[in-house]
A and B are shown apart, each in its own frame.
Chain A
Amino acid sequence: MNIHAIRAIYLFEMARTWRTLLQSIVSPVISTSLYFVVFGAAIGSRITEIEGISYGAFIVPGLIMLSLLTQSIANASFGIYFPKFTGTIYELLSAPISFVEIVVSYVGAAATKSIILGLIILATAALFVPLRIAHPIWMLVFLVLTSVTFSLFGFIIGIWADGFEKLQIVPLLVITPLTFLGGSFYSINMLPPFWQTVTLFNPVVYLVSGFRWSFYDQADVPIGVSVAMTLVFLSLCIGIVAWMFRTGYKLKS
């Protein structure tokens, strides 16, 4: 195990975070606050409560998930794409470091950043609405699992992408719609039955539902299913990454 290398990459990536503090931390916090103003104040005045929870508080888990997904993907994909773009990837490929170590360090750094971000957003939210966390351990489990899973997913996108457009396209065309339609801002029980069924094909639903359960002890889908689906997606990503590295996909000619 090349601990020094993992440490070097991890710290390098984290240094990038601090250097770009404004866009990595401040801007998600601002946009989350905006969501509170727009959704909480505007819509919340009409929908006062969902399943006994004030609307403002109801959307907190979904908002955190939204940031976790987009930021994990953005960070991890950029982290590995940039060396490919500049050519500095040569050093990574020529170093005595295994693929597992590369993944652990890049994904670890991206996930760390997302987790910090999630906690910051949580703290920001606490300023706007009264929060209650029914299952704090599970809340952390979901936070970490989601960050790791989607950082892995971002890593895959970063390796797959051979241009900045491709880097943007998956988050933009797939993740954002799935998140908005994933019950972040509403309970899927509010949908007509047909759409409820359609929604069950959206993986984000399970994440949001599970996460919200850890806060309010209420879920759209059974909690066990949420955990299982998250693990399935995590395993899928691990499988893809393993395949990419075994074949040298888009990394080595």
Chain B
Amino acid sequence: MRGFLTDSDHPNYATVAADCGINESLPSAERFHKVTNMQPIISISNVSKTYKGGFQALKGIDLDIRRGEIFALLGPNGAGKTTLISIICGIVTASTGKILADGHDIVQDYRAARSKIGLVPQELTTDAFETVFDTVSFSRGLFGKPRNPAHIEKVLRALSLWDKRNNKIMTLSGGMKRRVLIAKALSHEPQILFLDEPTAGVDVELRRDMWNMVRDLRETGVTIILTTHYIEEAEEMADRIGVINGGELILVENKAELMRKLGKKELLLHLDQPLTSIPSSLAAFDLHLRADGHELIYVYDTQSERTGITTLLRGLAEEGVRFRDLETRQSSLEDIFINLVKDRT
């Protein structure tokens, strides 16, 4: 399968969006600078949800989504991610709280709010008997836009669905259905795009294409909010990350900041001579031996006042342990995430 956007011979989504007037035609860095000063595109205050039966799925969520960013919502199964997205999109009614989408109250001014939003749901829910082209055109109409076959064609081409335009949806594979859902969400040129676990059940190639598409969309000024269970993806894709667990937003942070603040780092020492055990004088350090004693790993906290690196290196010198090379590595978001969720439960 061909990439959505990587292939320069073919129309890509960036041009689709540009042609259709979504593009703000500013270089992304400049635009990013500009947008950070603007009002948030989505503003969520004190949103709670108690489902019938008494289960509280969301507890007083406060969150601002910045214009033009990619925001990743991370959380374990049942954390409340889909509930939050469904409330913003109007599918579920919030029990308390207020949400503004591009300044419009999602309840009182739902028409203005919703017409700006596109949603790719978590479940693969599609029509069966309609053709791809018809179902995508239908979505555009539903969102109040006049017919525009040229735009639909561009979206379908960008998603490699053009060849399938006259196929009934039920004859498509799961990955293609997922793309049909994306096409439907993009059919009305939304400024805000929600992707609820878009890569669940999607192969590696399509996943990569999807992330390329997300980046290109962002280039055209679309704000993207996604949920994913693949933490590497949030790490790779997002500008900011929110961690949600048990209906509470535990933290919201710039990705880089989050990694810096909460990240433990590893210091890896490649030893000249293998060690059989860690010298007892260094027992106070969090040390591990690896690769048959050829590698020594020290885990330290970048946030703490003293990392202990100097003391460790001095101690090693006193023990006569020599090393050929050293490297440091940031612990992954996954480690951070697991720590955070573990701490709370």
Contacts and interface: CB of A to CB of B under 8 A. Distances in A.
Interface string B108-139: 00111111010101010111111000100111
Given A2-B111, A4-B141, A253-B52, A94 B128 contact: no
Contact of B89 (A94, A98, A248): A94
B143 A95 contact: yes
Nearest to B118: A94
B92 interface: yes
A5 B142 contact: yes
Contacts of A5: 141-144
Contacts of B130: 12, 15
Q: Mostly helix, strand, loop or mixed at chain A's interface?
A: helix
Contacts, number: 83
A166 interface: no
Interface stretch (A26-34, A83-91, A218-226): A83-91
B121 A90 contact: yes
Contacts of B129: 16, 19
A96 B125 contact: no
A46 interface: no
Interface string B72-110: 000000000000001001111100000000000000001
Contacts of A4: 140-147
Contact of A96 (B92, B114, B119): B114
Interface in A1-32: 2, 4-5, 7-9, 12, 15-16, 19
Given A95-B114, A97-B142, A253 B92 contact: yes
B119 A86 contact: no
A8 B92 CA distance: 23
Interface residues of B, number: 37
Contacts of B112: 96
Nearest to B88: A94
Given A4-B141, A88-B127, A93 B146 contact: no
A97 B89 CA distance: 12
A2 B145 CA distance: 9
A93 B125 contact: no
Given A94-B89, A253-B93, A2 B126 contact: no
Interface string A77-118: 000000000111011111111100000000000000000000
A5 B111 CA distance: 12
Contacts of A8: 137-138, 140-142
Given A4-B141, A5-B143, A8-B138, A252 B93 contact: yes
Interface string A203-222: 00000000000000000000
A93 B90 CA distance: 6
A96 B115 contact: yes
Contact of B111 (A12, A16, A96): A96
A86 B127 contact: yes
A14 to B, nearest CB: 12
Contact of A253 (B51, B121, B126): B51
Contacts of B90: 93-94
B240 interface: no
A248 B51 CA distance: 13
A43 B117 CA distance: 62
Contact of A91 (B92, B113, B137, B139): B139
B145 A90 contact: no
Contacts of A92: 142
Contacts of B67: none
B119 A90 contact: yes
B123 A9 contact: no
A87 B123 contact: yes
A16 B129 CA distance: 9
Interface string A232-253: 0000000000000000100011
B110 A252 contact: no
A94 B114 contact: yes
Contacts of A253: 51-52, 92-93
Nearest to A5: B142
Contacts of B137: 8
Contacts of A16: 129
A8 to B, nearest CB: 3
A92 B119 CA distance: 11
B215 interface: no
Contacts of B114: 94-96
Interface of B: 51-52, 86, 89-93, 110-115, 117, 119, 121, 123, 125-130, 134, 137-147, 184
7 contacts: A5-B142, A86-B127, A90-B119, A91-B119, A94-B90, A94-B114, A253-B51
Closest 7 CB pairs of A and B: A8-B141, A87-B125, A96-B114, A96-B111, A94-B89, A96-B115, A95-B142
